[in-house]
Structure 1
Amino acid sequence: MTNPRSRPDLSLETALGLPLVAGVDEVGRGPLAGPVTAAAVILDPARLPEGIDDSKRLTERARERLALEIRASALAFAVAHASVEEIDALNILEASHLAMRRALAALTPAAQHALIDGNRLPKGLEIPAQTVVKGDAIMRELALANPGYGWEKNMGYPSAQHRVALQQQGVTPHHRRSFGPVRKMLC
Structure 2
Amino acid sequence: MADRLNPATVGPSEEFEGEARSRGYRFIAGLDEAGRGPLAGPVVAAAVLLPRRCRLPGLNDSKQISESERNRLFAEIVRRATGVGIGAATEAEIDRLNILEASRLAMRRALDALPLRPDFVLLDAVTLSGLSIPQRAIIKGDGLSCSIAAASIVAKVTRDRLMVEYHRWYPHYNFAEHKGYGTPEHLHLLRAHGPCPIHRRSFAPVRECVACDGVEVLPPVASV
The normalised TM-score by structure 2 is 0.55
Aligned-pair distance for 1:49? 2.2
CA deviation profile, 1:118-168 (whole Å, cap 9, x unmatched): 2x3122323111111025978xxxxxxxxxxxxxxxxxxxxxxxxxxxxxx
Q: Secondary structure at the match of 1:39?
A: strand
Q: Secondary structure at the match of 1:30?
A: coil
Alignment correspondent of 1:124: 130
Is the 1:26–1:37 Cα contact (8 Å) retained in structure 2? Answer: yes
Gaps of 5+ in 2: 1-10, 145-224
Alignment correspondent of 1:12: 16
CA deviation profile, 1:34-75 (whole Å, cap 9, x unmatched): 000001001112433221111111110000000010000001
Kindly indicate whether residue 115 of structure 2 is the aligned counterpart of residue 111 of structure 1.
no
- Percent of pairs with identical residues: 46
Moved over 3 A (4+): 135-138
Distance 1:76 1:32 in 2: 30
Distance 1:136 1:117 in 2: 6
Aligned-pair distance for 1:93? 0.1
Question: What's the C-alpha RMSD, in Å, of the aligned pairs?
Answer: 1.8
Summarize the Cα distance change of 1:80–1:135 in structure 2 as closer, same or farther, 3 Å threshold: closer
* Count of aligned positions: 131
Is the 2:60–2:143 Cα contact (8 Å) retained in structure 1? Answer: no
Alignment correspondent of 1:40: 47
Q: Secondary structure at the match of 1:45?
A: coil
The normalised TM-score by structure 1 is 0.66
Distance 1:136 1:42 in 2: 14
